[in-house]
Amino acid sequence: MKLPSDLYAAEAQLLTAVLAAFNKKPKGRWSAEIRFEGLRIMPVALRLWEQLANSSIGANL
């Protein structure tokens, strides 16, 4: 897998991975690591949630 060049590319890869994990319906815990200096996690989490809510998964807060 190619490393993302910016935060939005990393978010797209994260969304792809999360959707793939949900579709496999595995049990257990998942983790994701995004390393960007000075990263504020709340905007990233909200964008991910919004994309998941609009997907076939239908995430709820």
CA neighbor of 10 nearest in space, from 23, 39, 55 = 39
pTM exceeds 0.75, yes or no: no
| pLDDT of residue 59 exceeding 70 | no
**Other CB atoms within 10 Å distance of the CB of residue 61:** 6
Whether the CB-CB separation of 4 and 10 falls below 8 Å is answered with yes
CA distance 31 to 13: 13
**Other CB atoms within 10 Å distance of the CB of residue 10:** 19
- At residue 60, the pLDDT reads 65
pLDDT in tens, 7-44: 888 889 889 988 888 888 777 788 888 777 888 889 98
Model confidence at 57, in pLDDT bands (50, 70, 90)? confident
